[in-house]
Structure 1
Amino acid sequence: MSDADPGLFGPDSVTWHLHGDPMMWVAGVRALYLQALHPRAVRGVMENSDFRKDAWGRLLRTADFVGTISYGTTEAAEKAGARVRRIHSRLKATDPATGERYGVDEPDLLLWVHCAEIDSYLQVARRSGLPLSDAQADRYIEEHRESARLVGLDPEAVPATAARLTEYFRTTRPLLVAGPDARDVDDFLRRPPTPALLVPARELLWRRVANLAYNALPPFAHELYGRPAPPPQRVTRQLAATGRLLRCIPSRVRWQLPPGHILKAMARLGPDTRPAPYKLRRQEAILNGPGGAQQSNGGDSTRWRKPG
């Protein structure tokens, strides 16, 4: 590897290898479904963006942000985070229950969006066959206290392990509801506006992605939306089959899609930094060390930078 800036995470991170997987698109749709169940969080989106007309643009902008913080330089990641914080600081929304105005950058709302996203990436990756151990799952969650910092959260207030993430969802569950805004998101994701010529492709491809993302939600989300899903074991088999199919597409072909964050990172750091699932197995052997003693230094609060 060269001496070039590895960015916030770098090739030795779980994030580096997980975020290069094609199943992240399914995970992103799952995250939207989950995020929409928080009435105040989804209201902020509906009041401050033209979601119904520009949902594709929103998805692509989110993907670009995730790609930038995952594979871009430290400077690029910090600038992307500052831009998000600046935009959020100006936005207000109306509480659907009380009618009061609030800022969309309230920590509890940012935390919900963050946790729903990280949980979705992790769950879809693991259930679709990516070889992540429990220790690596914890390491991934801990790594993304850094991305939480970028959007304005205190990293110390963000779950750092799978157990703490599960506990966060348990305590947040009473706040969640499939209100009118969540129904709008659900309707869009199931039947997005599409030019007439592309309707067959929507039915053939997109509907399957949206259904799989919905099916991959936790049971409490299915209960709130009121639409049943197949048994979890069958969903896991569906995710694994889809993962095998998508991973058959050569990575160099997949990574050509704009804006090409991974290829730019490899050009900056060298071809040996190529994200690959097999490196996760190798990484786990190093993480455990001789005799299986875990060598991770996760949770060191001295690592966190101050937002620029």
Structure 2
Amino acid sequence: MTDLLRDNATAAEATTLPPLGPDSVTWRYFGDWRGMLMGLWSGSMQNMHPKLAAGVWDHSDFFGERWERLLRSLYPISGVVFDQTPETGQQVRDYHLTIKGTMDDGRRYHALDPDVFYWAHATFWFGNIRCAEAFGPPISEADKRALFEESKNWYAAYGISMRPCPDTYEEFLDYWDHMCRRVLRDHDAVRTVLDITSLPVPPWARPWLPNWVWKRQVTVVQRLFMWITTGLYDGPIREMMGLTWTDSDERRFRLVGTAVNATMNLLPSRYRRHPRARDADDRASGRVSPDAPLLETPTRNLPSGAERDNPIHYCPVHAGRRANLPWQSDEVND
């Protein structure tokens, strides 16, 4: 297990990289609600890694409680960036300690294999660039390179071997292209992520959205999000998945992105942010005490029954501060 977490050549680097702060480029781009448009892209790209797909398929209850798992996972994942402590990263890492097994071809897998864990991390940090390019805010080449450099600090917070990390942004782009062309594969876990037609009403909408209304419009939502996801994919991924993308699609995709950016710019900057990111901004500005408990997911997103004791779940049952709604962060409950 120690070999999976660190190796001698990279342990020192992992322990000396400082946490990211309010002045980082990552704080500026990560945690924006535009990222929700990336949901199917992120989930499917992760599950295209054969070993990661096997772990999800064999161990995760993601497909039984997809909304809750997604919405509650945003808190610790965001926290690795915004909490300014390595403890959050180590907690996220340790949710994966028991996720291991054997693939259909006889190869063994472990969620903490550095090559597997780094691929998941790559989809998160590189998703900032994909999101900004598609939906804004506009991003410069300098900011792309800064995001890459800061992604090393972000990844170091997990306490896993830094070996898979490319040294430069250009080397990362080569790594990404290699993964898309040579390593990633279609899998049932990928197709299940991409199919949202069987999903129930989102937890936050259940008080006001009737089930019959949701059922009538979910196929339209499915087509829209699948189209958006296709636009976000690299060419080799579209080819592997048997998806078509025309010049007309590309023009409409850019128009949609412009409209999303314009709409988001109408909102106060505070309400463009996920609650955990907004809470970090509040701590940095003094609006919230630095000693206040971290803001945690609403109770409705927690796993139910015996699953609350399963160590693979993020489940802060005793947290003192919770967000009531995805767009509100100031409430104190429980």
**1:200 Cα offset (Å):** 4.2
Match of 2:186 in 1: 178
Question: Which of 228, 231, 240 in structure 2 is aligned with 1:212?
Answer: 228
CA RMSD of aligned residues (A): 2.6
Q: Indicate if the aligned counterparts of 1:93 and 1:104 stay in contact, CA closer than 8 A.
A: no
Counterpart contact for 1:191–1:207, Cα < 8 Å? no
Distance of 1:87 and 1:131 partners within structure 2: 35
1:245 aligns with 2:263: yes
Please give the residue correspondences for 1:185-264 in structure 2 after superposition, counting only pairs within 5 Å: 185-188=193-196, 192-194=199-201, 195-200=211-216, 202-203=218-219, 207-231=223-247, 232-255=250-273, 260-264=275-279
How many residues align? The count is: 258
What is residue 140 of structure 1 aligned with on the other side? 147
CA 1:140 to 1:55, structure 2 compared with 1: closer, same or farther past 3 Å?
Answer: same
- Within the candidate set 262, 275, 282, 1:267 is matched to 282
Find the residue that maps to 1:124 and give its secondary structure: helix
Q: 1:41 to 1:81 in 2, by over 3 A?
A: same
| Cα distance between partner residues in 1 of 2:48 and 2:163 | 25
Residue 209 (structure 1) shift: 3.8
**Structure 1 position 136, deviation (Å):** 1.1
Alignment of structure 1 residues 11-50 onto 2, 5 Å: 11-50=22-61
Alignment match, 1:303: none
Structure 1 residue 37: deviation in Å? 1.6
Structure 1 residues 261 and 181: alpha-carbon distance in aligned structure 2, compared to 1, 3 A threshold: closer
Greater length-normalized contact order (CA 8 Å, ≥ 6 residues apart): 1
- Normalised to the residue count of structure 2, the TM-score between the two structures is 0.68
Tell whether the 8 Å contact from 1:146 to 1:155 is kept in structure 2 after alignment: no
User: Match for residue 92 of structure 1?
Assistant: 100
2-side partners of 1:248 and 1:85: how far apart?
37
Aligned amino acid, residue 221 of structure 1: I
Identify if the C-alpha distance between structure 1 residues 199 and 230 changes in structure 2 by more than 3 Å, giving closer, same or farther.
farther
Structure 1 or 2: more helix by fraction:
1
Matched residues, percent identical? Answer: 25
Q: Which runs of 5+ in 1 are unaligned?
A: 1-6, 273-308
**TM-score, normalisation: structure 1:** 0.74
Distance 1:206 1:253, change over 3 A: farther
What SS is found at the alignment partner of 1:89? Answer: coil
- The letter for the 1-side match of 2:37 is V
User: Mean Cα displacement is larger for which, 216-225 or 123-132?
Assistant: 123-132
Segments of 4+ in structure 1 off by > 6 A?
none
Change (3 A) 1:52 1:63: same
Distance 1:159 1:57, change over 3 A: farther
> How many Å separate the matches in 1 of 2:214 and 2:191?
24
Pair 1:181–1:268, CA change in 2 (3 A): closer
